Amino acid sequence: MENKTLTELTVELKSKKISSSELTKYYLEKIKKYDPRLNSFITLTEEFALKKASQIDTEISKGNFKPLSGIPIAQKDIFCTKGVRTTCGSKMLSNFISPYDATVIRKLNEAGTVMIGKTNMDEFAMGSSNETSYFGTVKNPWDLERVPGGSSGGSAACVSAGLAPCATGTDTGGSIRQPASLTGICGLKPTYGRVSRYGMIAFASSLDQAGVFAKTAEDCALLLTHMSGYDEQDSTSSRESVPNYLQECKAEFKGMKIGIPKEFLEGLDHDVHLIFDEAVKQLEKVNCKIVEISLKSSKLGVSAYQVVAPAECSSNLSRYDGVRFGHRTKDAENIIELYKKSRSEGFGDEVKRRILVGTYALSAGYYDAYYIKAQKIRSLISREFKEAFDKVDLIIGPTTPDVAFKLGEKLNDPIAMYLSDIFTVSTNLAGLPAISIPMGMKKNLPTGLQIIGGHFQESKLLSLAHEFQKMTDWHLQKPDNQKWI
């Protein structure tokens, strides 16, 4: 069952070859059997899921079939979900029950999905390895001694392990694409504003974007179609019309002009470079013209990101003060002590580090020297991308410099950890859409091919990703589940 794609499952559900209840029970049992070793879920919503699946089966029997009727889905624990604990991977929100649904949750519910649980993540989405979660580290299904990437590592791991056919994630600097690459699945980050951020707990508001994980580009296209659209509750959401991404993804492919930034090949692992070269050859077979381009400012992406993101997080996380919601210390004699102790106890080390960096960058004496300069670099990166897309249809490169690293390997070296996102952060700074798809294996560990498009060009990048997957079978490879027992 776990080998079937989302599009295949929708056909079987519609034809009543399988019921939503059967499908939901199947995945819930797999989670109970295998997830204790992987730790990809924080909360399992079994009772809710079985009840919803039963209701959908009744609707299907009456001939009422929605686009995603009966499809089990895992939701990243950053999306507020009515009546369900929403923790953001933090002690600060470990007892928070959301009174409302995020727009992403609502839209997917309306499309017919069945939420089977909330997935583990780096605390407040701050991390690249899923080792900062208050609820413990998530393991990579391909090798339990390695990280799955982050911050959406729980979502990526559960889809890679076949514990869910699809999952949501969020991407602030690569937090969908990087874990997708390290776990051998597809991960799509849409254009900033394409999907509403309402009810998505904020890390860095000008960078955060919701997206999806699935086995194929087709599946990502199907999900994106029903997640997207203008939301009056999110002032940054776009009014741009939403196409049928699945239909456009499957349309006849015509050759494209593809740019490869020379900067994306610097510092690249030798074996990953060879795998990428083979992927490029595959694209040339379908009349893609490959040209070298330059994105000089992309080298400054990590530096700019590590000023902008912490600055915004220091502002966003100021609301967690132990007064209105979230963790409250039991030992405080006055209001100042309440603030200090609640925040000290509720936040982990990485979150504290970024709050301090952000507060420093926004302080009166350093605002111009750091934050303003980082925003200027951001503008420069956006301009270079725009100029590049005047010459090419899409841009490609490896998603990450190497395969998944060992647990603990970079945990005490923040700079090394931040550099694992070196190929992904620039697209967030520019607000561009991008997808990571499997492109090959290095010593039984997956690598990812990143495809970047211009603003609202998701159809183009999904089309190229789909064409690549028609020629290759890397997306069909799966880890050995005997390792997880």
267 pLDDT tier (thresholds 50, 70, 90): confident
90 tagged catalytic:
no
Residue 411, pLDDT score? 85
Are the C-beta atoms of 186 and 169 separated by less than 8 Å? no
Distance CA(459)–CA(243), nearest Å, equals 8
| 117 pLDDT more than 80 | yes
Q: Please tell me which residue in 52, 66, 76, 460 is annotated as part of the active site.
A: 76
Q: Is residue 271 part of a domain?
A: yes
Distance CA(198)–CA(50), nearest Å, equals 27
Question: What are the structure tokens assigned to 120, written together?
Answer: 């583990």
76 tagged catalytic:
yes
Predicted confidence (pLDDT) per residue in 149-168, tens digit: 999 999 999 999 999 999 99
Q: Please tell me which residue in 175, 342, 426, 436 is annotated as part of the active site.
A: 175
Domain that includes residue 126, residue range:
6-231+244-295+383-479
Partners of 189 in the β-ladder: 434
Q: Is residue 342 part of a domain?
A: no
Q: Is residue 260 part of a domain?
A: yes
Q: Is residue 316 part of a domain?
A: no
Burial of 287 (0-12, 13-18, 19+ CB in 10 A): exposed
175 tagged catalytic:
yes
- Starting at the edge strand found earlier in the chain, the sheet holding 167-171 runs 41-44, 114-119, 72-76, 167-171, 209-214, 186-189, 434-442, 445-452, 394-398, 257-261, 289-293
Distance CA(373)–CA(366), nearest Å, equals 10
Q: Is residue 226 part of a domain?
A: yes
Predicted confidence (pLDDT) per residue in 410-451, tens digit: 988 888 888 788 999 999 999 999 999 999 999 999 999 999
324 pLDDT tier (thresholds 50, 70, 90): confident
Angle between helices 153-160 and 20-38 (to 10 degrees): 120
Of 173-177, 408-412, 479-483, the least confident: 479-483
Cβ atoms < 10 Å from Cβ of 367: 14
Are the C-beta atoms of 89 and 118 separated by less than 8 Å? no
End-to-end CA distance of the chain: 19
| 52 pLDDT more than 80 | yes
Are the C-beta atoms of 169 and 179 separated by less than 8 Å? yes
Mean pLDDT of 374-396: 97
Q: Is residue 118 part of a domain?
A: yes
Mean pLDDT of 240-245: 96
Question: What are the structure tokens assigned to 26, written together?
Answer: 């199947």
Distance CA(318)–CA(160), nearest Å, equals 35
Residue 325, pLDDT score? 87
Q: Is residue 349 part of a domain?
A: no
481 pLDDT tier (thresholds 50, 70, 90): confident
Are the C-beta atoms of 420 and 178 separated by less than 8 Å? yes
Query: Tokens 């602030």 identify what position?
Result: 172
Residue 211, pLDDT score? 98
Predicted confidence (pLDDT) per residue in 68-113, tens digit: 999 999 999 999 999 999 999 999 999 999 999 999 999 999 999 9
User: Over the chain, what is the mean pLDDT?
Assistant: 95
- For residue 410, is it left (φ>0), alpha (ψ between -120 and 50) or beta? alpha
Question: What are the structure tokens assigned to 413, written together?
Answer: 């070296």
Distance CA(451)–CA(434), nearest Å, equals 5
Helix ranges restricted to H, 369-479: 373-389, 414-418, 425-430, 458-471
**CATH (domain of 21):** 3.90.1300.10
- For residue 27, is it left (φ>0), alpha (ψ between -120 and 50) or beta? alpha
The set of residues, in sequence order, having a beta carbon less than 8 Å from that of 201 and lying 6+ positions away, is 78, 79, 80, 86, 88, 93, 124, 125
Q: Is residue 343 part of a domain?
A: no
Looking at per-residue confidence, does 101 or 367 come out higher?
101
Q: Please tell me which residue in 20, 90, 151, 298 is annotated as part of the active site.
A: 151
261 pLDDT tier (thresholds 50, 70, 90): very high
Q: Domains in the chain: how many in total?
A: 1
Residue 420, pLDDT score? 82
Residue 419, pLDDT score? 79
484 pLDDT tier (thresholds 50, 70, 90): confident
